Structure 1
Amino acid sequence: MDAPVRIAMIGNGFMGAAHSQGWRVAPRFFPIPPVEMAVMVGRDAEKNARLARKWGWAEAGVDAEAAMTRDDIDIVDIVTPGDTHCELAIAALEAGKHVLCEKPLANTVDEARRMAEAAERAARHGVLAMVGFTYRRVPAAELARQMIASGAVGTVRQVRAQYMQDWLADPDSPMTWRLDKAKAGSGALGDIGAHAIDLAQHLTGQRVDAVSGTVQTFVSERPLMAAGRGLGGTADADAPRGQVTVDDYAAFVGRFDGGALGSFEASRFATGRKNALRVEVYGDRGAVVFDLEDMNAVQWYDATAPSDRQGFTRILATEPEHPYLSAWWPAGHTLGYEHGFVHQAKDLVEAVVSATQPSPSFADGYQVQRVLDAVERSAADGSAWVSTREA
């Protein structure tokens, strides 16, 4: 338990910063072995070296294969664009390294299947793999799951899940890799819709097994030259423009394997919504709602209470009895976005130490990928229902 767990991280963008925070903080608040941030890999040597120093990595490199085959590396953390996930994850698993891979697992169903099969083979030799659906680790979201599992809503009948952002609402926002299907796989559907799908399934304990959906691209061309920083940077409207090859908006209805029906939305054009992930679960005995814009609370409606006492109750998830909270601050002191990555790092290290399969697994990521693929196929040919099950 005292031996350090050594990490190699491949990639250094937005998720690189978030994952670095998780690895750096987790062993300082949770009783896990020391974590050594051994090496961070990026294509631009100068940029990567600067960010490695900033985020606390011992070394910076440009060779992913060399990093993931080092004898002193235990976990490979993949935070690169989706088109690289399959090759990197399989190579790391075959090198005997445990793997954490950002969501969505891959860009295609075939890639995700290959990754899940590689993880299954690796698991036979004690090598573990996990996909980074981080919102599962928000304490209020996990509390919502526990409440639903314990019968707080009774039989689940209806689920409503949406993830709304607006960082592309300006048609002159610049092109990024997230708007290129070759790199990203899909747009709002895979980038943020994957989170809504995973969280809805995680909260209910049911899986989406058929969908009917539509997707839309509102702005088909964008400036190539960015003059800003972050997801919503600005660009010169007169700059050369590139082709957007992914969706801006996706909506679908889904049938869950436990009998519930669901509606899902994902948008990067929802003006005024910055990072609005919301899942509402309705049953015959009540309802539970989680909203990332109120991320430290759960809304609960008890339909069995006397009629003159009914109404949604806001439960502030900051008590030490709530998931993850005993390691943090006194009751009433809230957590933020970055804490989910701390909890993710803590959970994966615990799984590695105990030789226990972490969740969500690559098989879970593959299942979400099948849902994404089914939505795209339904939208493409106007199918009323498309199965998400394996052929």
Structure 2
Amino acid sequence: MTQQLRVAVIGTGFMGRMHAHAWRSAHRFFDLPRTPALRVLGGTDADRTAVAASRWGFDEATTDWRSMIERADIDVVDICTPGDTHAEIALAALAAGKHVMCEKPLANDVADADRMVAAADAATARGVVSMCGFSYRRTPALALARRLVEDGRIGEVRHVRAQYLQDWLSDPEAPFTWRLDKTRAGSGTLGDIGAHSIDTAQWLTGDDIVGVSAMLRTFVPTRPVRDEQVGLGGRARADAQRRAVTVDDAAAFTAEFAGGALGVFEATRLATGHRNSNRVEINGDRGSVAFDFRSMNELEFYDARDPLGEQGFRRIQANEPEHPYADAWWPAGHGLGYEHLFTHQVVDLVRAIAGEAKVAPTFAEAARVQRVLAAVEQSAAQRSTYVPVEGESA
């Protein structure tokens, strides 16, 4: 029997449910140095939190996140709340000596992100680990792409092309949610899904974005306040009161990488026909890799050194035992799903806490993403052709 790692999750929405599933599953498929134990779930509504805690396997439920952090029987605090609460919760948890998992984006602005980085760095000296939840890094096919790029298989990176397209807000009568309120979400599509593309691109290339030129659009300026009987993403009543949308619906920007590569990024929640299309392609002077989450178990790889008559993208099924994370799951060819990425995230965090692995992405890495988000917003607001990313130099 391994020592328990006692977990508190804050947040009862989509991410809270996904993280709870991951904590509950990780040790059942991977050999871990410590066994996660779901101690307490925190939420804002007592009844809903109690129901979720029982269904997801927690010992207790509470609406007081501060009491969770003060408990001696909690080792890890997992933050799955809107962005405006990330900094306050993370700073308190780190000060209390708790390991922290924080959903992306790290914060709502660079100032809060920097405060979180400083606290995380200080906590590291005391053996406290912190990680930001950019879950797509844990896709076996993308992790394979990272390995190929690191090994020089595509050579010098020249182009980065990233798209993240969704359509759940394409109906102008789709109800208002907290994700459309800048005070809570920080930004809209840009921070919600564009942040994933930024992190993926910087992680895959091993290179930072140093400048951007951007446009943001809000196509639907007001949305109806959701009737309690209308589910998230459902159509609101015709007579419902409307509320102003204070974030972007879509983002498009070009980017310069420190190594000289050119990036093109697009993110939107209004691309009809695209439920969750997350795609990235990296072109180098020796080859290319391309990934589309709609075929999440596959990686496209092109080797420019193949004989001319044999050249072309080839499809790699990334579920062989030698592929990242895949050996813990099913026989080759059976495939993994979205939920497995979060299980892999827990695995990596538990191993980092035990000193068996290096934590990634760190709060510092996540803060670099925050700086790119800020530069994109600045460029769009100023209609500037180029805005350098704060703290980076070309």
TM-score, length-scaled by structure 2 = 0.97
Segments of 5+ residues of structure 1 without an aligned counterpart are none
Please list the CA deviations of residues 274-307 of structure 1 after superposition, one character each: whole Å capped at 9, or x if unmatched. 1111010001111100111110000011111111
| 8 Å CA contact retained: 2:348, 2:357 | no
What's 1:123 paired with?
124
| 8 Å CA contact retained: 2:225, 2:243 | yes
- Give matches, 1:67-82, under 5 Å: 67-82=68-83
| 8 Å CA contact retained: 2:375, 2:390 | no
Q: CA deviation at 1:390?
A: 2.3
Q: How many angstroms apart in 2 are the aligned matches of 1:70 and 1:94? A: 13
Q: How many angstroms apart in 2 are the aligned matches of 1:313 and 1:323? A: 19
Please list the CA deviations of residues 51-73 of structure 1 after superposition, one character each: whole Å capped at 9, or x if unmatched. 11111111111110110111111
Q: How many angstroms apart in 1 are the aligned matches of 2:85 and 2:13? A: 14
- Give matches, 1:57-68, under 5 Å: 57-68=58-69
What's 2:305 paired with?
304
Q: CA deviation at 1:225?
A: 2.2
What's 1:40 paired with?
41
Q: CA deviation at 1:389?
A: 2.8
| 8 Å CA contact retained: 1:206, 1:258 | yes
Q: Check 1:5–1:222 CA distance in 2 against 1; reply closer, same or farther (3 A cut).
A: same
Q: How many angstroms apart in 1 are the aligned matches of 2:390 and 2:196? A: 19
Q: How many angstroms apart in 1 are the aligned matches of 2:149 and 2:46? A: 48
What's 1:21 paired with?
21
Please list the CA deviations of residues 236-275 of structure 1 after superposition, one character each: whole Å capped at 9, or x if unmatched. 1320000000000000000011111100011001110011
Q: CA deviation at 1:357?
A: 4.5
Q: How many angstroms apart in 1 are the aligned matches of 2:297 and 2:357? A: 29
* Structure 2 letter corresponding to 1:308: G
* Structure 2 letter corresponding to 1:270: A
Q: How many angstroms apart in 2 are the aligned matches of 1:130 and 1:68? A: 17
What's 1:381 paired with?
382
What's 2:352 paired with?
351
Residue 95 of structure 2 corresponds to residue 97 of structure 1:
no
* Structure 2 letter corresponding to 1:289: A
Q: How many angstroms apart in 2 are the aligned matches of 1:355 and 1:293? A: 32
Q: SS state of the match for residue 322, structure 1?
A: coil
What's 1:6 paired with?
6
Residue 231 of structure 2 corresponds to residue 229 of structure 1:
yes
- Give matches, 1:211-290, under 5 Å: 211-226=212-227, 227-230=229-232, 232-290=233-291
The worse-fitting range, judged by mean Cα deviation, of 362-371 and 301-310 is 301-310
Q: How many angstroms apart in 1 are the aligned matches of 2:260 and 2:242? A: 46
- Give matches, 1:44-193, under 5 Å: 44-193=45-194
| 8 Å CA contact retained: 1:320, 1:326 | yes
Please list the CA deviations of residues 48-94 of structure 1 after superposition, one character each: whole Å capped at 9, or x if unmatched. 00011111111111110110111111110000000000000000000
Q: How many angstroms apart in 1 are the aligned matches of 2:264 and 2:239? A: 39
Q: CA deviation at 1:2?
A: 1.1
Q: SS state of the match for residue 211, structure 1?
A: strand
Q: CA deviation at 1:233?
A: 2.0
Segments of 5+ residues of structure 2 without an aligned counterpart are none
Q: SS state of the match for residue 159, structure 2?
A: strand
Please list the CA deviations of residues 221-242 of structure 1 after superposition, one character each: whole Å capped at 9, or x if unmatched. 0000244324x22211320000
| 8 Å CA contact retained: 2:109, 2:370 | yes
Q: How many angstroms apart in 2 are the aligned matches of 1:359 and 1:240? A: 44
Please list the CA deviations of residues 86-121 of structure 1 after superposition, one character each: whole Å capped at 9, or x if unmatched. 000000000000000000000011111111111111
* Structure 2 letter corresponding to 1:31: D
Q: SS state of the match for residue 213, structure 2?
A: strand
| 8 Å CA contact retained: 1:126, 1:355 | no
Please list the CA deviations of residues 197-222 of structure 1 after superposition, one character each: whole Å capped at 9, or x if unmatched. 00011111111111110100000000
| 8 Å CA contact retained: 1:25, 1:342 | yes
Q: SS state of the match for residue 87, structure 1?
A: helix
Q: CA deviation at 1:356?
A: 5.2
Q: How many angstroms apart in 2 are the aligned matches of 1:191 and 1:205? A: 22
What's 1:360 paired with?
361
Q: How many angstroms apart in 2 are the aligned matches of 1:250 and 1:181? A: 15
* Structure 1 letter corresponding to 2:8: A
| 8 Å CA contact retained: 1:221, 1:243 | yes
* Structure 2 letter corresponding to 1:302: D
CA RMSD of aligned residues (A): 1.1
Please list the CA deviations of residues 120-166 of structure 1 after superposition, one character each: whole Å capped at 9, or x if unmatched. 11111111110000000011110111011112211100000110000
Q: SS state of the match for residue 192, structure 2?
A: helix
Q: Check 1:275–1:345 CA distance in 2 against 1; reply closer, same or farther (3 A cut).
A: same
| 8 Å CA contact retained: 1:128, 1:357 | no
Q: How many angstroms apart in 2 are the aligned matches of 1:153 and 1:138? A: 20
Residue 320 of structure 2 corresponds to residue 342 of structure 1:
no
Q: CA deviation at 1:337?
A: 0.3
